[in-house]
Amino acid sequence: MIEAVGLTKRYGAKTAVHNLSFQVRPGAVTGFLGPNGSGKSTTMRMILGLDMPTSGHVTIGGHPFRNLPNAPRQVGALLDAKAVHGGRSARLHLLSLAQLAGIPARRVDEVLGVVGLQDVAKRRSKGFSLGMGQRLGIAAALLGDPQVLLFDEPVNGLDPEGILWVRNLMKQLAAEGRTVFVSSHLMSEMALTADHLIVIGRGQLLADMSVQDFISTNSADFARVRTPDTAPEGREKLTAALVEAGGQVLAEPDGALRVTGVPLPRISDLAHDADVRLWELSPHQASLEEAYMRMTQGAVDYRSTVDQRAGLQPADPYGYGPGAPAPQGWAPPAGNPYPALAGERPNPYAQPMPPQAVPQAAPGYPSAPASQGMPPAPAVPPVAPAPPSTPPPGAAPAGPADLTKRDSEDAR
């Protein structure tokens, strides 16, 4: 088991990790999530003794990593798949690691077969693709047959077959009673692989719970309703009936309605009573990605600015592309693509968003009540796009200098 208590790491004036406490238990795959720069890699390095914490401590099986006897046989890790001498073959690289840890040479051939590199074992690693390098890094982590395994982005560069293999490998290792700690940005893979989640943002703990609890806590289910596009009056009648029944209605970009607070059978009855035909009535269950985005939207450091050339593109005759008009009644969410929904627990870590960032409700009808954190958005007049050589007034991006420079060059 991995246990961190009050873990803090500072680099000069920057605090990478602050008072972080969690446990990674054996027998389950624990996902480690967080935006770029949130402190995930720093935390893993402190677990492995590569960085010393400023305060607090972290132990593996009750002992600091540095005090573990023959650590490679107890802990395996993949932090950087490129940390390989390019002039060595895959087999020689693993053989050198095995000799340092007193591991029999036959184990090298075993793990090469496990990761599927047995046919290229004599090739120099500098000629490996990104996916092959990942497989070699996983082989190095498995070399000592350890009980504790840490993986940082293990599926980076792998093809679909390789991703499926890694997913099954993680589950198998956990089923054998091992401690498996996996950091990844692929929410779809985490939803299929992880049993438990630890989520951090800006170096602080945001969530420590099962995948199912995380999704239910940070999202709200809703119904997706669509009426015939040729009968907008029917859409308005249904919206009025839903609001009168206590529901909250939001217009989506494709013309559908997002309805919360009213169960699906009741929506069907209201549409029947209003003599409105339905083209779609489907339940929507939130994904891990949506729940994660809602939880971490206030902890993201790097955000893109609007490409000023987008407004100069000609409109697509089929209604798509950057020059196409927005659907009627739809206000694009400027800074908060995941507003709070009815029935959702407020996120204590999310930063307050400006009023214009809240999606507007269907035309003529109120959105969620103010108590839900959803004040109605004021009408914002359209702004003509600025010439490509000049940034729009007051659009100084809040991102880091490198992103600002790159976006400015794109604008030119």
Candidates 117, 198, 206; CA nearest to 165 is: 117
**Cβ–Cβ < 8 Å for 252, 222:** no
Number of domains in the chain: 2
Domain that holds residue 171: 2-216
pLDDT at residue number 408: 43
* Assigned domain for 410 exists: no
Please tell me whether residues 281 and 200 are part of one structural domain: no
Residue 192's identity, in one-letter code, is: L
- Give residue 69's pLDDT: 86
The pLDDT value given to residue 304: 77
Distance CA 94, CA 33 (A): 29
Asked if 354 and 335 touch (Cβ cutoff 8 Å), the reply is: yes
Domain termination residue (choose one: 242, 269, 291): 291
Token couple for 337: 């693509």
User: Residues 144, 226: one domain?
Assistant: no
pLDDT tens digits, 140-171: 999 999 999 999 999 988 889 999 999 999 99
Say yes or no to pLDDT of 368 above 80.
Answer: no
For residue 246, being part of any structural domain is answered with yes
Q: Which of 187, 210, 206 has its CA nearest to residue 197?
A: 210
Quick one: 232 exposed, middle or buried, by C-beta within 10 A (0-12, 13-18, 19+)?
middle
Q: Bigger pLDDT: 80 or 328?
A: 80
Q: Residue 354's pLDDT is what?
A: 46
User: What does the chain come to in residues?
Assistant: 412
In a domain, 348, yes or no: no
Task: Indicate whether 118 and 243 sit together in one domain.
Answer: no
pLDDT of 80 over the 80 cut: yes
Instruction: Using alpha carbons, select from 33, 81, 68, 409 the residue that is nearest to residue 207.
Output: 33
Listed residues 273, 291, 309: the one ending a domain: 291
- Asked if residue 119 lies in contact with residue 44, where contact means CB atoms within 8 angstroms, the answer is no
In the numeric block, which tokens belong to residue 280? Answer: 């779609």
Q: At what angle do helices 160-175 and 130-142 cross, to 10 degrees?
A: 10
Q: Are 108 and 91 in contact (CB under 8 A)?
A: yes
Q: Are residues 75 and 137 in the same domain?
A: yes
* CA separation for the pair 293, 281 (Å, rounded): 25
Q: Is pLDDT above 60 for 112?
A: yes
Q: Per the domain annotation, does 398 fall within a domain? A: no
Q: Are residues 145 and 163 in the same domain?
A: yes
- Whether residue 261 sits in one domain with residue 211: no
pLDDT at position 364 over 80: no
Of the two residues 362 and 194, the one the predictor is more confident about is 194
pLDDT value at position 310?
61
Q: Residue 375 — very low, low, confident or very high, per pLDDT cuts 50/70/90?
A: very low
48 and 9 in a common domain: yes
Arithmetic mean of pLDDT over the chain: 80
DSSP-assigned states of every residue in 305-360: PP-TTGGGSPPPTTS-STTSPPPTT----SS-SS---TTPPP-TTSPPPPGGGSPP
Residue 347 located in a structural domain: no
Say which CATH number the domain at 269 has: 3.30.70.600
- CATH assignment at residue 143: 3.40.50.300
User: What's the whole-model pTM score?
Assistant: 0.69
**179 and 266 co-located in one domain:** no
The pLDDT of 19-26, averaged and rounded, is 96
Tens-digit pLDDT profile for residues 240-259: 999 999 999 998 888 899 99
Q: Do residues 291 and 211 lie in contact, with contact meaning Cβ atoms separated by under 8 Å?
A: no
Residues 204 and 261 in one domain: no
Output the CA angle 97-133-16, nearest 5 degrees: 85
Could you say which DSSP state residue 276 is in? -
For residue 295, the SS3 value is helix
Task: Identify whether the C-beta of residue 152 lies closer than 8 Å to the C-beta of residue 78.
Answer: yes
Q: What angle do CA 323, 374, 395 make, to 5 degrees?
A: 45
State residue 86's pLDDT score.
Answer: 83
Q: What's the pLDDT score for residue 318?
A: 46
Give residue-wise pLDDT tens across range 306-319. 766 766 655 555 44
Tell whether 318 is covered by a domain. Answer: no
Phi, psi of 70 (to 5 degrees): 50, 65
In a domain, 378, yes or no: no
Q: Are residues 118 and 226 in the same domain?
A: no
Mark whether 43 and 172 lie in a shared domain: yes
Q: List residues bridging with 8 in a β-sheet.
A: 55
Instruction: Look at residue 98 and tell me if it is in a domain.
Output: yes
- pLDDT higher for 271 or 231? 271
The predicted structure's pLDDT at residue 312 = 61
The mean pLDDT of 26-53, rounded to a whole number, is 94
Please give the pLDDT value at position 174: 96
> Are 343 and 362 within 8 A, CB to CB?
no
Distance separating alpha carbons of residues 7 and 184, to the nearest angstrom: 21
Q: What are phi and psi of 91, to 5 degrees?
A: -70, -45
**Same domain, residue pair 268 and 146:** no
